[in-house]
Structure 1
């Protein structure tokens, strides 16, 4: 396989800095920074080239211009390190400085960037030399990628005109597939397969663009008269092929930190390499989508997906479903005149053989308020002794990051959250490395605070001042009794420690409905209890009949697991303070997690039962 990339050749220089061991400059009186680490990396078209090589292209040639400077030497050297051919790289003596992006990071926060190359102009001689090499080698390529992303780079009007002539002359007789990934010139290289993002697509459509994403992708295909791949950021991508068939690919949910830098390049490389291998456009777009997901997990540098990483992520990805419905409450569709929201119509008729329930927030509210406890616990862990010296801006930024983290990880095991917490403590760098605790130790500190809160409610129950109805979602215990009396086998699956779940279920009087089918965390991040119980039920109980099992929960984890195995997913928009009514803050993540149906609480079980064809009681 042979691929060419024509475009803007860039170099990224990332600096990790700190004020530790740094002085106030005697000459200027300004604070200096200590550089902990500086890392050069290829960017722009060069990054696309590296990705193509990593994904298995035998030969990757790159075309572009660099300056006659030290950074040009470094860029070419790095290309050679990756086995990329540079005969098409032109060294321009005048009016050109190699595109370099100096990125400075301090405790995970990026400072203003310093860019060089913003005043470049390609000479006619440089353009002629580059195109001469391209014409000589063109017939040997399976695919050619056009990259354009800097304000003043290779793509002058003169270069655009000549490159379009090359595309026109080659498309008819050589069989070379041309791809374009442009920031501002999508309308220029028309006789190519376009990969562009939603914002770029809507700009082409015009200021009055209010069409859906699917309609936009189809319009772009007809506009270019070529296949189009429209990327949607966290929501995945849409591909429209030569026959104007629309293919949709969901985005991927990540619990941990992500970095979007380079994800578009990874998508493009996966798309093109797959097409060059003979994949259809829809197959190639699926590969590109996974490649972008792999890249997102690499922090502070561009990720270069490997085949092994792509296969691994494809097997275990947590997909984001129905983003447009999730983001817009106006698109909610309700059954008859009830609060039962139908996201995906269900075909289930008759009582389920098995029903799986999440615990906290779905049945029990003993842990209501856990988010505030975790927020304070994480804040203490991350800031350490620096807490009192943080500025109000730093503290607010840290709280916002913690809020986002808790929202992303709601429903997973506490021990898994604590593993991510360890990463965050290292990431911010307020705590010396020797003082960073283990995930188990952080969990013990959090549990101590959480259980102190829970114990107060437990003591009130034992004293008779509270009963089960005061600390459970309305109608939940009656609903458990209802299903159990009709032969449905009930399972309780929670990310909370299993001993605590069993103790609380017994205290509140519903353990009997689950018998020995209560599963919780045992501190093993590789064995999530919700995943394990669903896998066990499918293998031993259902014999592949997904519709005979329903999953109830107020978090995205159980929704995703249900969706992964084709089970009916019912999301609870539960208000854990009032214990009844709607909590619309949960709607977005439940729909994205794959919920088919949504109800506020179990006082609306009669509507659910009628809709699903169960006996109404």
Structure 2
């Protein structure tokens, strides 16, 4: 049975191989599997933990590709349904030498956006230790927002630990005001919230890590820990008891693709908690996997196995 559970929209991504060419002019692409929550499930599975992923795909080549990729990665797909009436989402991604690549999505009215809420009634929560939720699934449709709220209730009723990543996708929301209000409301149900520093500025009006952490700690009795992702600078941790610290990041000489770095942080953090690490060491693992993620072109191709992670940490003269 799964130790880790998440829900999201799986997609195929066509990543350009043409450096610094816009998507209109790029001609060479490589297909990968993607989707923020699926990235996290793949990374945690790669580190030896049992995972289950909840979603829906279309009966099309992309849906088949995603299912095969999940099986190859060891991610459970017991709760992934096939939708005969809707297609599987996909997107295009630039290759850039500096900064974040541009992306273009084809996901409106996808299979995942029409997820059947009845599937939630079949989920076995008995062995789940941590569930990871994201603001992306809520943005896909009113149906999926209701599904996410219902799943969150099931998890709390079963006493499960919830992590929440805002993962803001403004293009998917009807307005920024709705995105902010809904995302912050969803965060109230999480034991641990992990916004990025730029997301904090959008969601509560400040880029100060301490103020961001205080906002989420103060808005909910449930939230006990906030970790603000600082990009290459690392992560800021603050807990309900007042303990706070900054975890330094890892230097990367050659950044290939920044997409997937935040999900890589979640992989390291959650896998560390599953392994019984204290929060500071789990966050440090998150920073390490975030650094490894930006060295590869796929959204999750840079996520390491346990041996690869240990080798990287040893090279950085860090022991867990």
Please say if residues 13 and 91 of structure 2, whose CA atoms lie closer than 8 Å, have aligned partners that are also in contact: yes
Residue 263 to residue 52, structure 1, CA distance change in 2 (3 Å): same
Please say if residues 229 and 235 of structure 2, whose CA atoms lie closer than 8 Å, have aligned partners that are also in contact: yes
Alignment partners' CA distance in 2, 1:160 and 1:271: 22
Residue 274 to residue 296, structure 1, CA distance change in 2 (3 Å): same
- More contact order relative to length (CA 8 Å, sep ≥ 6): 2
Instruction: Please state if 1:183 is matched with 2:167.
Output: yes
Q: Indicate the SS of the match to 1:49.
A: helix
More helix by share: 1
Question: What value does the CA root-mean-square deviation take over the aligned residues?
Answer: 3.2
Gapped regions of structure 2 (runs ≥ 5): 169-182
Alignment partners' CA distance in 2, 1:239 and 1:258: 27
Residue 246 to residue 101, structure 1, CA distance change in 2 (3 Å): same
Please say if residues 88 and 111 of structure 2, whose CA atoms lie closer than 8 Å, have aligned partners that are also in contact: no
C-alpha deviations, 1:219-261, integer Å up to 9, x for none?
Answer: 3222233111110112110112342311211122223334211
Alignment partners' CA distance in 2, 1:262 and 1:60: 19
Distance apart, 1:291 and its partner CA: 1.3
Please say if residues 120 and 153 of structure 1, whose CA atoms lie closer than 8 Å, have aligned partners that are also in contact: no
Instruction: Please state if 1:133 is matched with 2:125.
Output: no
Aligned residues: 294
Instruction: Please state if 1:42 is matched with 2:34.
Output: yes
Indicate the residue corresponding to 2:107 in structure 1: 117
Instruction: Please state if 1:245 is matched with 2:229.
Output: no
Please say if residues 10 and 45 of structure 1, whose CA atoms lie closer than 8 Å, have aligned partners that are also in contact: no
Alignment partners' CA distance in 1, 2:91 and 2:114: 26
Instruction: Please state if 1:98 is matched with 2:88.
Output: yes
Please give the TM-score of this superposition, normalised by the length of structure 2.
0.79
Residue of structure 1 aligned with 2:60, choices 60, 69, 75: 69
Larger Rg: 1
C-alpha deviations, 1:30-78, integer Å up to 9, x for none?
Answer: x99764x633233322211110011221x11110121222211111111
Residue 306 to residue 158, structure 1, CA distance change in 2 (3 Å): same
Please give the TM-score of this superposition, normalised by the length of structure 1.
0.43
Alignment partners' CA distance in 2, 1:75 and 1:307: 23
Distance apart, 1:90 and its partner CA: 1.8
Residues 254-265 of structure 1: matches in 2 within 5 Å?
Answer: 254-265=252-263
C-alpha deviations, 1:117-138, integer Å up to 9, x for none?
Answer: 1234768871112x0232xx11
Residue 152 to residue 268, structure 1, CA distance change in 2 (3 Å): same
Residue 305 to residue 205, structure 1, CA distance change in 2 (3 Å): same
Distance apart, 1:89 and its partner CA: 0.7
Residue of structure 1 aligned with 2:148, choices 138, 142, 160: 160
Indicate the residue corresponding to 1:148 in structure 2: 135
Alignment partners' CA distance in 1, 2:26 and 2:113: 39
C-alpha deviations, 1:400-429, integer Å up to 9, x for none?
Answer: xxxxxxxxxxxxxxxxxxxxxxxxxxxxxx
Indicate the residue corresponding to 1:581 in structure 2: none
